Amino acid sequence: MSILVDETKTVIVQGITGREGMARTQLMQRYGTRVVAGCTPAKGGQDVLGVPVFDTVMEAVEKMGSIDVSTIFVPAPLVKNAALEAIAAGIKLLVIVPDRVPIYDVLEIAAAAKDAGARFIGPNTLGLLSPGRAVFGMIGGSASSAKDWFLPGRVGVTSRSGGITSSIAYYLSRAGIGLSTIIHVGGDGIIGTDHPAVMELFESDPDTDCVVMFGEIGTSQEERVADLIASGKFTKPLVAYIGGKGAQSGTRFSHAGAIIEGDRGTHDGKVKRLREVGATVVDNFGDIPDAVKTIIRPMETAKIPIIE
Amino acid sequence: MVDNALCHCDIGSPGRATNRSKVIMARLHEYHGKQLLREAGFAVPKGQVVRSQGEVPAALAISGLPAVVKAQAWTTSRAAQGAIAIADNAGDVTAAAARMLSLKIGGFDVTEVLIEEKVDINREFYAGIVVDDANKTPVVIFSSIGGSGIEELARKYPKNVSKTPVDVRFGLREYEAREAVRKTGVTGSLQNELTKALLTLYRVARQWEARSAEINPLVLRGDGKLVACDCRITVDDSAVFRHPELKIEIAREFGRPPTALDKIAWSVEKDDYRGTFYFIEMARGYKKGEGFIGFHGAGGGGSMMSMDALVKRGYTIANFTDTSGNPPASKVYRAAKIILSQPNIDGYFGSGSGVASQEQFHSARGLVKAFWEENLSIPAVIRLGGNGEDKAIQILTEYTKNLPAPVEGYKKDDTADFCAQRMQKLLEAQPDKAAPRQMALPVTPDFTAKDPYSFETPTGKVVLDHALCRECQTKSCVQTCVPQILKNQDGVVVLNISREDAKAGKCIECLACEVECRIGGNSGGRVILPIPGLEEYRAKIMGA
Ligand code: SF4
Ligand code: SF4
């Protein structure tokens, strides 16, 4: 099992005729994702990599039957409309890849998603991947890298940084620790599915034994994960690393979310809260695989990849 | 959480100034925020901003006496830093303004001072709109007992502080605003006025897409009117493009006014949507040999971790740079040129998450071109782990062998810590750390082609010297051009697409026709990528 992502789910790519949309469609297809439709307004009737393109998401659903997931690769100013369209067409999981989506647009998407019982990942996300099964978004960059780098197993990974999602997953795989699902929740301050929401999903996934979380300064996500542990809503072992220790001067680095705001959001505050509730917080990023190993026996199924 | 952003009260009451971790964003100065409030019908103190002593009389004519003099600076503790004064006569106002205009706050010059009427305070309230990351809604926060230390107040006096989530699609309703006020114990006509104030504030926040908008204090004047005595409005930097009238120079969240180099970097990023380039100067006024490192990261999380690795070894980050999200080689090149426009950095450190999705050889080519042009004389350690890393490291290290300083390249199995250790080793091995570094000037070396063939690219141009191409045996540019838009035609290389298509983006500025050409022992290909303002900038600091 996995959370949210597997090879049975049908996927539409919004913005499929663009540079990114096309490249990522190829990645998803080659990895095993069921891409059934694409959408670019006024370009209906074409076909991209064997995928039929429709003018609207509604039309795609009309012609192809209901679709489970939309991956969105349109320019940031157009994301709101694309996401609302997908929600209106009945799609229940959206993966919003672009960054720099205005906050109030995200809030509107969030309100619509809540009413429709839909969920979104991102914005500013590489997406999510379940090793050997499927990828929604662009984790790994190419299917062959994604196949090489990430091995199946029973550890979940959730991260606010895209590159770090890949590196944690790669370093764990290399250490013989396989993965159930890896998810980049997105680098922005306001995101659809944040660390606490992911924890709840991992909690109810029978095939995830342990979770690794990459947190960062800014937002209240990591503190709310600690709240979940404290209230018994997340009971699996958690290994965490919090980035941005040296960034306390108050400068914002690339992630829109990585800003200290008030008491919550500081590096030390997050580390302290998580340790108080019993999570393993490592000080060195490189210590993550060992920390996970001491918690779970490495999965025999995960083979050590050959590294040139 | 809703109580995240409620931490700024710095007006009028020196003893109560808070000094918390700063919130750094695309924020507006106080006077600018007040102007937006005034335009929306909110009462603000009469006043005007001055930029020199000579403008004081005109401002005084508006504000009258006594007046409050306030340096316009992005800090949470103006009062404690002598950046707020109350004066009874024109002489004192002028003196205070003059003094503030020579202040440095957070290392940056104060250039604007607000002079406004002193408001006769009857009672203080707090009103704020923030975005709640947990519930993903705007939240209205209102306090009937002022807002100094609002988080603390909310804990101690929950009956006097209300928090009201708003459905962003419908906006704040009148009854919701009234309820927010009523809950804190305010009744009668004051309740009416405060309800209106909250509705106006929400409208302003929504209109300008503020991540937070706070009025603190919101003052009930002696005459019964509500006045916004200080405000902080922080515009969502991703929405700045929709609000050109705000004239926000750089849609980035800085804790200070942008430096000249920040502005040059922003001009590179502004109109180029291919990937992200982020640059902030983090130190100034240091000397060569003092351990300042030019930092070039990729991806926020990995960059922060990589900086931590350097800081642990006792180095200081001269600048923060991030090129990520699959940027073209040209963008990485320009980033490197800008980083190398800091004459006193001791080393160049590039490291991101280590396992990048993007094809890393693009970055390698960008770096190599910049290092060549600069004839790099400070050691560089670059981690380019991820897709295409083998090719990337080969390009990076093979082609920089003849530079004065060592360039080392690492892959995904090398940690940021290890790379920082290598940086340290190389720096320690430098014979004369304080020796000055020459920056290339002109920034882009001249290229005079005997028989030029050129075409425009999205942000520059490619020039091929057909005189040299004719002699070239390898024609390596044809094979290595990533989008394959070049062809060999009668012994010279030309486009196999239209010039328009090349300019519109078919040429992805992968730099192969320059870098691979040179690697093949030829020199007929050159990609010219201007960086507006950099020439003058370098000339100025080298002249100084
Ligand atoms: S490799 Fe250089 S010299 Fe040779 S054809 Fe290409 S541009 Fe001309
Ligand atoms: S012409 Fe080809 S090789 Fe040269 S920069 Fe453009 S894309 Fe790259």
| Alpha-carbon torsion angle B388, B389, B394, B396, nearest 10 | 110
Q: So what's the architecture of A150-308 in CATH? A: 3-Layer(aba) Sandwich (3.40)
Going from the Cα of B13 to the center of ligand 1, the distance in angstroms, rounded, reads 70
Atom of ligand 2 nearest to the CA of B510: 8
**Residues 290-349, chain B: which have Cβ within 8 Å of A?**
297-305, 307-308, 311, 317, 320, 322, 324-326
Q: Is the confidence at residue B37, as pLDDT, over 70? A: yes
**Residues 2-21, chain A: which have Cβ within 8 Å of B?**
20
- Verify that B388 and B421 share a domain, yes or no: yes
Residue B455 and residue B410 in contact, taking contact as beta carbons nearer than 8 Å: no
* Nearest-Cα residue of chain B relative to residue A286: B415
B166: domain CATH number is 3.30.470.20
Terminal-to-terminal C-alpha distance of chain A: 31
Cβ contact A160–B320 (<8 Å)? no
* Nearest-Cα residue of chain B relative to residue A146: B357
Percent of chain B with pLDDT over 70: 93
Residue A297: what pLDDT? 67
Q: What is the ipTM of this complex?
A: 0.89
C-alpha to C-alpha distance for A144 and B543, rounded to whole angstroms: 52
Residue A147 and residue A168 in contact, taking contact as beta carbons nearer than 8 Å: no
Q: Is B20 on the interface with A (CB under 8 A)?
A: yes
Q: Is the confidence at residue B35, as pLDDT, over 90? A: yes
Which range of residues forms the domain containing residue B186? 26-38+121-253
- Verify that B221 and B270 share a domain, yes or no: no
Is residue B414 situated within a structural domain?
yes
Q: Is A260 on the interface with B (CB under 8 A)?
A: yes
* Section B417-428 average pLDDT: 96
- Verify that B391 and B326 share a domain, yes or no: yes
Q: Tell me: the pLDDT tens digits for B312-336?
A: 899 999 999 999 888 999 999 999 9
**Residues 117-156, chain B: which have Cβ within 8 Å of A?**
131, 133-134, 136-138, 151
Residue B339: what pLDDT? 98
| Residue B129 DSSP SS3 | strand
- Verify that B390 and B351 share a domain, yes or no: yes
Q: Where are the alpha helices (DSSP H) in B157-272?
A: 174-182, 188-207, 260-270
| Residue A258 DSSP SS3 | coil
- Verify that B393 and B283 share a domain, yes or no: yes
Atom of ligand 1 nearest to the CA of B525: 7
Average pLDDT, chain B: 89
Q: Where are the domains of chain A?
A: 1-125, 150-308
Is residue B503 situated within a structural domain?
yes
**Contacts of residue A141 in chain B, CB cutoff 8 Å?**
356-359, 386-387
- Verify that B228 and B316 share a domain, yes or no: no
The count of structural domains within chain B is 3
Is residue B11 situated within a structural domain?
no
Residue B161 and residue B142 in contact, taking contact as beta carbons nearer than 8 Å: yes
Length of chain B: 544
Which ligand is nearest the CA of B462, by number? 2
* Section B271-281 average pLDDT: 85
| Residue A299 DSSP SS3 | coil
C-alpha to C-alpha distance for B263 and B285, rounded to whole angstroms: 18
Q: Tell me: the pLDDT tens digits for B20-30?
A: 222 234 778 89
C-alpha to C-alpha distance for B385 and B412, rounded to whole angstroms: 4
- Verify that B337 and B401 share a domain, yes or no: yes
Which residue, among B169, B305, B326, B410, would best test binding to A if mutated, counting the most A CBs under 10 Å from its CB?
B305
- Verify that B411 and B458 share a domain, yes or no: no
Phi, psi values for residue B122, rounded to 5°? -95, -45
Is residue B53 situated within a structural domain?
no
What CATH number labels A1-125? 3.40.50.720
Q: Is the confidence at residue A264, as pLDDT, over 70? A: no
Closest CA to A92 of A65, A113, A115: A113
Residue A263: what pLDDT? 57
Closest CA to B345 of B271, B434, B221: B434
B341: domain CATH number is 3.40.50.261
- Verify that B402 and B491 share a domain, yes or no: no
Confidence label for B55 from pLDDT (cuts 50, 70 and 90):
very high
* Section A4-14 average pLDDT: 97
- Verify that B300 and B418 share a domain, yes or no: yes
Cβ contact A103–B211 (<8 Å)? yes
- Counts for chain B of helices (H) and strands (E), in that order: 17, 23
**Residues 441-500, chain B: which have Cβ within 8 Å of A?**
none
Residue B254: what pLDDT? 64
Region of residue B287 (left: phi > 0; alpha: psi -120 to 50; beta: else): beta
Going from the Cα of B338 to the center of ligand 2, the distance in angstroms, rounded, reads 22
Q: Is A246 on the interface with B (CB under 8 A)?
A: yes
- Verify that B31 and B156 share a domain, yes or no: yes
Residue A258: what pLDDT? 52
Structure tokens at A70: 């939309």
* Section B161-186 average pLDDT: 97
Is residue B511 situated within a structural domain?
yes
- Verify that B497 and B511 share a domain, yes or no: yes
- Work out the minimum CA distance from B352 to partner chain A, whole angstroms: 8
Atom of ligand 2 nearest to the CA of B455: 1
Going from the Cα of B525 to the center of ligand 1, the distance in angstroms, rounded, reads 5
Residue B544: what pLDDT? 65
Residue B159: what pLDDT? 94
Q: Is B291 in the pocket of ligand 1 (CB under 6 A)?
A: no
A146-to-A28, A30, A153 alpha-carbon distances in Å: 10, 10, 15
Residues whose CB is less than 8 angstroms from the CB of residue A217 and which lie 6 or more positions away in sequence, other chains included: A242, A243, A244, A247, A248, A258, A259, A260, A265, A266, A267, A270
Q: Is B103 on the interface with A (CB under 8 A)?
A: no
Q: Tell me the whole-structure pTM to 2 decimals.
A: 0.88
Terminal-to-terminal C-alpha distance of chain B: 48
Atom of ligand 2 nearest to the CA of B509: 5
Q: Tell me: the pLDDT tens digits for A80-98?
A: 999 999 999 999 999 999 9
Q: Tell me: the pLDDT tens digits for A36-76?
A: 999 999 999 999 999 999 999 999 999 999 999 999 999 99
Residue B150: what pLDDT? 80
Q: Is the confidence at residue B168, as pLDDT, over 50? A: yes
Residue A71's beta-bridge partner residues?
A13, A95
C-alpha to C-alpha distance for A263 and A250, rounded to whole angstroms: 13
Is residue B165 situated within a structural domain?
yes
- Work out the minimum CA distance from A153 to partner chain B, whole angstroms: 20
Cβ contact A245–B308 (<8 Å)? yes
Place of tokens 């804190």: B184
Q: CA quadruple B278, B279, B280, B283: dihedral positive or negative?
A: positive
- Counts for chain A of helices (H) and strands (E), in that order: 10, 14
Place of tokens 């074409």: A46
**Contacts of residue A102 in chain B, CB cutoff 8 Å?**
209, 236, 238-239, 242
Choosing from B332, B456, B462, B519 the residue with most ligand 2 atoms within 8 A of its CB, the one to mutate for a pocket test is B462
Residue A257: what pLDDT? 53
Place of tokens 């008491």: A263
**Run of H or E residues at B366:** helix B360-374
C-alpha to C-alpha distance for B182 and B176, rounded to whole angstroms: 10
Q: Is the confidence at residue A247, as pLDDT, over 70? A: no
The 10 Å CB-count burial string (b at 16+, else e) for B164-177 is bebbbeeebeeebb
Q: Tell me: the pLDDT tens digits for B280-289?
A: 898 888 999 9
Which residue, among B152, B211, B238, would best test binding to A if mutated, counting the most A CBs under 10 Å from its CB?
B238
Residue B543: what pLDDT? 83
Q: Is B511 in the pocket of ligand 1 (CB under 6 A)?
A: no
* Intrachain domains A1-125 and A150-308 with the same fold: yes
Which residue, among B203, B240, B357, B415, would best test binding to A if mutated, counting the most A CBs under 10 Å from its CB?
B357
* Section B476-500 average pLDDT: 95
* Section A204-220 average pLDDT: 93
Q: Which has the higher per-residue pLDDT, A299 or A124? A: A124
Q: Is the confidence at residue B127, as pLDDT, over 70? A: yes
Residue B285: what pLDDT? 87
Confidence label for B87 from pLDDT (cuts 50, 70 and 90):
very high
Is residue B147 situated within a structural domain?
yes
Residue A253: what pLDDT? 54
Choosing from B369, B465, B511, B517 the residue with most ligand 2 atoms within 8 A of its CB, the one to mutate for a pocket test is B511
Q: Is B493 in the pocket of ligand 2 (CB under 6 A)?
A: no
C-alpha to C-alpha distance for B37 and B205, rounded to whole angstroms: 9
Residue B13: what pLDDT? 27
Going from the Cα of B438 to the center of ligand 1, the distance in angstroms, rounded, reads 29
Phi, psi values for residue B251, rounded to 5°? -80, 65
The 3 state secondary structure assigned to B48-86 is EEECCHHHHHHHHHHHCCCEEEEECCCCCCCHHHCCEEE
Residue B226's beta-bridge partner residues?
B220
C-alpha to C-alpha distance for B40 and A65, rounded to whole angstroms: 49
C-alpha to C-alpha distance for A89 and A1, rounded to whole angstroms: 27
List residues of A with catalytic annotation. Answer: 255
Q: Is the confidence at residue A308, as pLDDT, over 70? A: no
